[in-house]
């Protein structure tokens, strides 16, 4: 256990930051999961509305320091590819 005042403060700060980041990351994962649910329903209008919203949530997590920028880019790229694939299959079907 920490003995110095500064070390105790650091422990408090880390706990607070960890809780905040965990909450934000959970929110992000929920929004990604909802978008993936839209992809399975294959309603083109909802997919087109949901993609920018999900991208915005991912970008917000980068701004807050929860995600690394390249991780966010990878998420966004994969979601966009999945959306385009769902829209293409929905258009032909």
The gap between the terminal CA atoms of the chain, to the nearest Å, is: 63
Assigned domain for 78 exists: yes
Query: Which pLDDT tens digit goes with each residue over 9-34?
Result: 999 999 999 999 999 999 999 999 99
- Rounded to an integer, what distance in angstroms lies between the CA atom of residue 91 and that of residue 44? 8
Write the CB contacts of 75 (distance below 8 Å, at least 6 apart in sequence). 32, 58, 67
Query: Which pLDDT tens digit goes with each residue over 34-82?
Result: 999 998 886 888 899 999 999 999 999 999 999 999 999 999 999 999 9
Give residue 73's domain range.
Answer: 26-92
Assigned domain for 41 exists: yes
Assigned domain for 4 exists: no
Assigned domain for 47 exists: yes
Q: How many domains does the chain have?
A: 1
C-alpha torsion sign, points 23, 24, 29, 32: positive
Write the CB contacts of 20 (distance below 8 Å, at least 6 apart in sequence). none
The CATH number of the domain where 82 resides is what? 1.20.58.110
Assigned domain for 5 exists: no
């Amino acid at each position: 256990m920490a003995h110095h005042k500064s070390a105790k403060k650091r422990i408090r700060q880390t706990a607070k930051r960890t809780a905040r980041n965990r909450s934000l990351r959970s929110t992000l994962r929920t929004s990604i999961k909802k978008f993936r649910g839209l992809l399975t329903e294959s309603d083109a209008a909802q997919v087109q509305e949901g993609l920018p919203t999900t991208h915005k949530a991912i970008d917000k997590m980068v701004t807050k320091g929860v995600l690394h920028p390249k991780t966010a880019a990878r998420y966004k790229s994969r979601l966009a590819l999945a959306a385009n694939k769902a829209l293409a299959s929905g258009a032909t079907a």
